[in-house]
Structure 1
């Protein structure tokens, strides 16, 4: 059950903090600021993925060819090419 509904779109959430964080995507608020460049993000996960562009970290590796990626979605897209 997801009792917390967004007033701006059809999405609903299990907890009020999840709804509050989601609502920032409508308000344009981006509280997660990169310390290395001017970019900022609505969600902390966006900052984590972006941070890897500065560190070079590529924690997701393809089990078939060994190629590494910064985020899981890119790995999944890559794996479809095998």
Structure 2
């Protein structure tokens, strides 16, 4: 494994460690041409650009609503399934979004 000298986090691949190191160095070489915001990873810039283009490549099969990120679609789908994967350990109540549990 490849270990980060700053925080001790380990990675199976050297390339993953190289990407991770940018979080410590503050290096953000990927810049948005529209608003100037910069990112440490090109994939984060690609995702950000969707704000400007309006692209929403992840569509809900039930209602057709589109999302910028797959994780947002997965969270949205709980509206249709009723899934509540975040239980409160004290009251038996559960939540569909982790931040709702935190707020509770």
1:4-57 Cα deviation digits (max 9, x unpaired): 111122422222222111100111111111111110001111101100011110
Between the two proteins, the alignment pairs up a number of residues equal to: 80
Higher relative contact order structure (alpha carbons within 8 Å, sequence separation ≥ 6) = 1
Within 2, Cα distance between the matches of 1:24 and 1:43? 9
- Residue aligning to 1:50: 48
- Structure 2 unpaired stretches of 5+: 81-104
- Residue aligning to 1:21: 19
Query: 1:81 is matched with which residue: 79, 82, 85?
Result: 79
Q: With the length of structure 2 as denominator, give the TM-score of the two structures.
A: 0.71
Greater radius of gyration (CA): 2
Within 2, Cα distance between the matches of 1:64 and 1:8? 45
Two-structure CA RMSD over aligned residues (Å): 1.1
